[in-house]
A and B are shown apart, each in its own frame.
Chain A
Amino acid sequence: MKPKPNVEDNPKITFKRLFSLLFFITLLSSCAPSDIVIEGSLPIPMVKKIPVRIGVHYPDAFVDFVHTETSKEIGAWQIDLGKQNAGFFRALFGSMFSEAVILEKWDSDITGVSNENTHAVLVPQIKKYGFLTPFVSGLGFYSASIEYELTLYDSRGATIFNWTVVGYGKSEGKAFGKEEAVEQATLLAIRDAGARIAIEFDKQKAFKSWFGNLEKAENGS
């Protein structure tokens, strides 16, 4: 009877097993869902403060925003960008207005209820979020876009204006850093939208009209 070879001492068999193991680990890791929490620092804008005491209400859907997407092309993704958004918008509105007060509760349906503590109430919302990988777009980078809707109400709850702002960001991808590239592109999209809001908010026609009336009322003319 032929003696059974000692597997532990045979380098060829050990190598084959190691190769197979690595092969299956690589296969499994490529199927794992991509779970990202968007983090990172964003700058505070250097703009002239708008002399308005504003209340800002961040809806739960804004603060807890998580994007989930599954497809054959890109696999399963879960991107949590709510906390990053909320933190950035707090800093953004804090630097844009002479005073920005966070309102924990706000119901736009309760019109006619006077809110004397603030001149107006601003409610930001995320309407859409999307991202593209080089595999889907055919381009050599990852990109992300976010569509925000900003609604400004006067102190009695009447809508002054609705403004849709789209932010866009792109990031060079690396072979094994797709999550990092999508995170970077998303941060740049938030930053891009923030830049537009900071520069163009007080140039909106409806805002200028409302602000003109506010100034007149404050000056008593």
Chain B
Amino acid sequence: MAHKLKAYRLCLLVIVFIVAGCASSRVEEFRATETGMASGEGLVLLGRASFSDNETKESFTDCMADSLKGGDRPLRVVPQKMFRDNFYPWFEPRVEPTSSEELKKLFMEPGVKDLIASSNIRYIAWIEGDTVRVDDGGTMSCTIGPWGGGCLGFSYWEEDASYKATIWDLEKMISAGQISSDSRGTSYIAGVILPIPILARPGNAACNALADQLRQFLTGS
């Protein structure tokens, strides 16, 4: 009976950790115009540069690109680096267009409009945001030596992943709309000789939520 009770408590503890390790997401959408993607048309995801510590990391746009390229309804996603190289210097962080008005001016530069047309790129999605740690606590210490090692203690941290995608329609030369995704999650590490991590991944949750909503926004399904 006592063994059963211990096993029950252990299971309960593990479930509590797993549930607490999950991240919750909220997605919002603003649509300015009708959208759609014909066969062969593509989009490019560009991380908006801010030169601050909270700039969108390339790993986030890569995660979104992988998510959009996969699944039942894959989209053609032009790699960010290839796009910036092909259109150098027009999409460099310091000179990239910040509004659809600037985009119209950019299209008047020799070769830009033709290259967009030949690359069959219909949309640009500008990605802004970052994952930041909003709270942390607890203590844990680990030691290691020739005779072995171990950890003791408990530590947690809470992260907030807040991202926004602004979609530009290169055919209509307008901003088609905006999608935002906000995910929060708390991760834990319990040190009981071995460190046991229960990790929430709000950045990953925000990436998948934003990619799914973007796919729906562009294809309407």
Contacts and interface: CB of A to CB of B under 8 A. Distances in A.
Given A19-B146, A48-B110, A168-B51, A195 B58 contact: no
A79 interface: no
B146 A196 contact: no
Interface in B78-106: 84-90, 92-95
A48 B94 contact: no
A201 to B, nearest CB: 11
A45 B53 contact: no
A46 B95 contact: no
B86 A43 contact: yes
Most buried by B among A45, A46, A168, A198: A46
A188 to B, nearest CB: 9
B167 to A, nearest CB: 24
Nearest to A134: B53
Interface string A132-151: 00000001110000000000
A195 B146 contact: no
A156 to B, nearest CB: 32
A46 B115 contact: yes
Interface string A148-181: 0000000000000000000010101000000000
B95 A195 contact: yes
A16 B89 CA distance: 56
A195 B89 contact: yes
B57 interface: yes
B58 A172 contact: yes
A15 B88 contact: no
A55 interface: no
Contact of A199 (B55, B86, B89, B146): B89
Given A46-B115, A141-B53, A198 B58 contact: no
Interface in B150-177: none
Given A15-B146, A170-B51, A172-B58, A192 B93 contact: yes
B112 interface: yes
7 contacts: A45-B89, A46-B115, A48-B109, A140-B53, A172-B58, A191-B92, A196-B89
Interface of B: 51, 53, 55, 57-59, 84-90, 92-95, 109-112, 115, 146
